[in-house]
Amino acid sequence: MFPSLGATAFLFFETPMAEVASIRNTVIGHTVGALVAFFWLEVFGLVGDPSAIETGFTADRVACIALSLAFTGGILRLLRAAHPPAGATTVIVSIGLLTTGDELAVLMAGVILLSLAAWCLNRVMGVPAPAWTDSR
């Protein structure tokens, strides 16, 4: 459904025991990335505008992307919920590819579906990947 799910899938199957591959970090990471990007789209008045892929990258769009990434990284650090593919989700939303509540809901449904499927598949393959990991 969106490119950053591919990177998330690789983390689930290549490094299933890593904290960045936990379902906790995955759900928190993509949620924060999408919401922070949507916030900055609102701040710059870009919600509902055509994507940067269609119109090109304006100064407002570049600032939106940069601030979205910086704030996503900072918030995930504070939450101790690092998940690198969340940065891609932030960019996807910031450039205007996903801008409605329905699209963000589909994005999160994809994150949850992939997380559950990967957890089940890892269990079937004998990998004791944690269902939820908190780094504290």
User: pTM higher than 0.85, yes or no?
Assistant: yes
Q: What angle do CA 14, 15, 20 make, to 5 degrees?
A: 130
Q: Please, which residues have CB within 8 angstroms of residue 80's CB and are 6 or more apart in sequence? A: 134, 135, 136
Q: Which H or E run contains 123?
A: helix 101-124
Percent of the chain with pLDDT over 70: 96
Q: What angle do CA 96, 100, 106 make, to 5 degrees?
A: 100
Cα-based torsion angle of the residue sequence 105, 47, 3, 87 in order, rounded to the nearest 10 degrees: -100
Kindly report, residue by residue over 100-135, the tens digit of the pLDDT. 889 999 999 999 999 999 999 999 999 887 777 664
**Euclidean distance between CA atoms 108 and 57, whole angstroms:** 26
Structural domain boundaries of the chain? 4-124
Mean pLDDT of the chain: 92
